[in-house]
Structures are given as structure tokens and as C-alpha cells.
Amino acid sequence: MSQKLNVAICQINPTLGDFEKNIDNISSKYEQALEEGANLVIFPEMAITGYPPQDLLNNQNFVNQNIDYLKKFSKQVTVPCIIGYVDIDNDKKFNAAAICQDGKIISKYHKIHLPNYDVFDERRYFQNGDSIGIFDLSIDQNNYKIALQICEDLWEDEYDRKISNEIIDNNPDLIVNISASPFAKDRKNDRMELIQSKYANANCPFIYCNLVGGQDELIFDGFSMVFDSDLNLIDMANGFEEQILFSDLSSKSSIEKISSNEQLFKALSLGVKDYFKKTGHSKAVIGLSGGIDSALVACIAVNALGSNNVTLISMPSRFSSEHSKVDAEVLAENLKARFKRVDIDNLFQTYLDVMSVHFEGHPPNVAEENIQSRIRGNILMAFSNKLGSLVLSTGNKTELALGYCTLYGDMSGGLSAIGDLNKNEVYNLSKWINRHDEIIPQSTLDKEPSAELAPNQVDPFDYELISPVVDNIIFGNSQKNINEEFLNLKKKVNINEHKRRQAAPVLRVSKKAFGIGRRIPIVNHFHE
């Protein structure tokens, strides 16, 4: 390149379908970029619509409005701007990028590789593009050859067509990838390594611009990146927040170091925050048992929403231990959240009295235990209705997998904050929260986990052993020791799909979460 480019990489958090708000944010970021001297401005994939639009794409008004707002925005554009949107051509829809300059749309690119796995189903809506995105841009009276791709175009290993080779053969001055790539553990490093492996011989800078924010179960982490001509990482945007990353494509900047636990906590906090904000809620209600799962959810909620917007409710019964009652209250004090105690024993006894004639001849079992859980679910929903709050459910991935949870009881809620963390991860993240100060009482971390629904009850699992095994079952990984215990666990995972289908949406932080990315039939008699 004959002259240094001053690029503004605008990592934004759109709200799906709120075109006016999204365009206002885009326009504001664009103007800010110009004020800082940018001569090329880049926005992520689907910046105008939000991602993923899913069946909204079947609504012609949705598609038309997104194009109208793009045209509106393009009129204010002076220096070149790359931005993601939905294009339509001869009644065919495309996941597209527009290049705007001098008050108009001067070029467009249609995404070639359309992901159709896990949480992605783009082939349901879009047509594949044909031509690679090679464009000549005039910037400050200098000509640049820009190679443009969209998200999955980079993840080409499973496709016959290798876009990277085609791009390199064209000798571009700059490669730009705009993405809506959701967070999963280690995904940031996966992206970086992929870029460096695919374009090691490109001999030009590479810009990766990613979306940020929560959309239903998905959390987009940002971490937009800039690589120099030798594919060294020279700059990276912060994760989990909007940011304009400015770069001249050569100068190295300090890069935020963030641990895996910190990433998880920030991801879950952002997921909760945006789910509440974008659905019109501001306050949360959480059932606080004194156990580790509800303690972690409470910490996430307070971080996401503020302590004044979180109500923690202890609902002890005759089987609740004294330390659980104390731990719940201490945690609430530490978090400075609202705390209420509602004893359920009288309600439980009323149920037992009413049902005794109907249960006669049947020994006490899980039915009586679950009555307690369902009483608690009803109380939480009553607070939800009365306070205009959303209930956060507190089950972890291991419990949801094995069905160790109660329908219409502890599964009640509008959002599952930790349903994609296994039990071991719950403990690890809780210990990370306590790294400086004891927020979660140490006794909560130390005691044996228990539902406390029967005398001297403890959970019937060694979570340290079974959590990774259950994860392997969910991920479909091969297992060396196929023994009776493994087969029983696998059976439990399969037969409890009906529970999970009725559960709250689960914030996705792994590469395979319960929800839209895992579609297993409820009626399923298949055995391997």
C-alpha cells in the first residue's frame, strides 16, 4: 500500500429488527470514526438487522426495511464504509456486505459459504454467492485492492471451494472479514489461529470485525482483530462490549489479556444483561437455596443488572440445613441485593395432607420431594408477576443433561443463566469470583451438593467424574470406556429431552449447548 490506511473497526451491538436504533448507532459510530481521522470504516456481518434474523427473513417487509435503512445510511457516507446487511436479487436473499462511498452504495458482496450446523441454518434462507469479493477502492486519492469475505467464508475446511486460495491469488492490499461469530470457550483463539494458518502467504494485513452482544441464547463476544502483513496479531478489541478499534495496520497496540473464567463471567453477564434489556425487562428474581448453582447465578445477575434490580428469595423447608439458610442470607448481604425469606413448610404440609388420601398405599418418594420444588417455582413466579421481574433459573448443564431437575419447579424461569456450564465449571467460576474477596460463602463451596428435599440427602453423583463424561455424550465425542455406567448416563441424557424442551432458553457458552444447536427428538428409540 502506497499510504497507510487509518481504519476504524466498529464492533457494535445491534438489536434484531430495530432498524432505526441500529442505524442511529451505526451513524454515530461512523461520524465518530471520521472525527478520529479514519479513511475506511468497517461494521460487522448483519450490522443493520442483527443476527440471526431466522424466520423474520421470510417477512418481505423485514428485508425491504433493512435495504431502505442501508440506502438511508449510505447517503451520509463520505469515506468508504463496509457494512453487513441482507440483500435481495430476483427474489433470492443473500447474506451480504455493502461498500458505501460518496453518498451511495458502490459495490456489494454475497457470502459464499453458508453455515448449516449447530446454531446456524443460513441455507434455509439464503442463496450462496458466486464471486469472491475483490474490489478496487479509491481512498485519499490512492487505489487499494480490498478482498472482502463474510464470517463462514473463513471457516472453509468443510467446503470444496477454498476461498482463501482464490483471494491470495488476487494479491489484495487488504483482506477484511466481517462476522457474527458467537462466543464459545476457546473460540477467540480458534479464530486467530485459523486466520494465521489460512492467510500466512497473503503478504497483506487482515482485519476481522465481529459482532458483540446477546441475542436470545447466543452471545457475540467481539474480540475484533487486526493482523499486519506478516499475520502477526497487532491489535484486538475488548471482548463483550461495543468499541471502535482504530488501526493503521502496522503499529502494534497493547492487547487485553483475559482468562477463560473472566471470559465466561463476562459472556454470561452480557447474555443476561442483553436478554433483559432487549426483551424489555430490568429486574430479576432468583431462588436462593444456599447452594453453589443459585449463588453463581445471583453473582452473574448482580453484575449484569445491578444489585438494586435483583431480588433473592430463600424458601426453606423442614429439610433445609441451617448452613444453607445462613449461606443464602450472607450471600445476599455480600451482593447488596434484596433478600426475602418465604418458609414453605406449612404449604408443603398442606399438600401432604390434601394428597394423603390419594397417595395411600404408596410409600413416600420423589413425588413428595418434587412438591417442594414446585411450591418454590410457584412462589418465584408469583414474585415475578407482582414485581414485574424475570425469573432466572439456576440449573447447570450436568443436571439438565441427566434430568436431575424438576419440571415446573427449579426449572421455572425465563432464562437459564448457567445451563451450559457443567458442575465442575460452576465450581471453578465460583472460585474465580472469590479470588479477591469472599463473595460466595466458603461453606457453600465446601459442602456436599444437595437438593435438600429429603432427610440427609446429597446429590447421587460424583460431579468431578461424571461432568466430563456427560459433556462427551452431549458433544458426541468418542468414549474409551463403554461400560454399564456410561450407557446408563447416556440413557438418562436421551430420556430427559422432554424436560429440556420445556426449559428456559440456555445461554450458550460452549460449542454444543442445549437449545437451538442440539435438535434431538423427544420420541427416540435409537440405540447405538
Tell me the catalytic residues.
45, 111, 151
- 193-223: b or e for each residue (b if 16 or more CB lie within 10 Å)? ebbeebbeebebbbbbbbbbbbbbbbbbbbb
Q: Give the C-alpha separation, 463 to 229, whole Å.
A: 47
User: Which H or E run includes 384?
Assistant: helix 366-387
Half-sphere exposure of 429 (CA within 13 A, CB side): 30
Q: Indicate left, alpha or beta for 26 from its phi (over 0: left) and psi (-120 to 50: alpha).
A: alpha
Distance CA 208, CA 36 (A): 20
Grid coordinates 489461529 are at which residue?
193
CA 389 to chain CA centroid, Å, is: 22
CB 419 within 8 A of CB 219: no
Q: CA nearest 399: which of 424, 431, 436?
A: 424
- Cα distance between residue 415 and residue 507, in whole Å: 8
Give residue for cell 431462588.
287
One-letter amino acid at 328 equals A
Q: What is the rounded distance in angstroms from the CA atom of residue 200 to the CA atom of residue 314? A: 56
Closest by alpha carbon to 10, among 21, 38, 2, 18?
38
| Contact of 381 with 412, CB cutoff 8 Å | yes
43, 50 contact by CB (below 8 A): no
* DSSP of 264-305: HHHHHHHHHHHHHHHTT---EEEE--SSHHHHHHHHHHHHHH
- Cβ-in-10-Å burial (0-12, 13-18, 19+) of 1 comes to middle
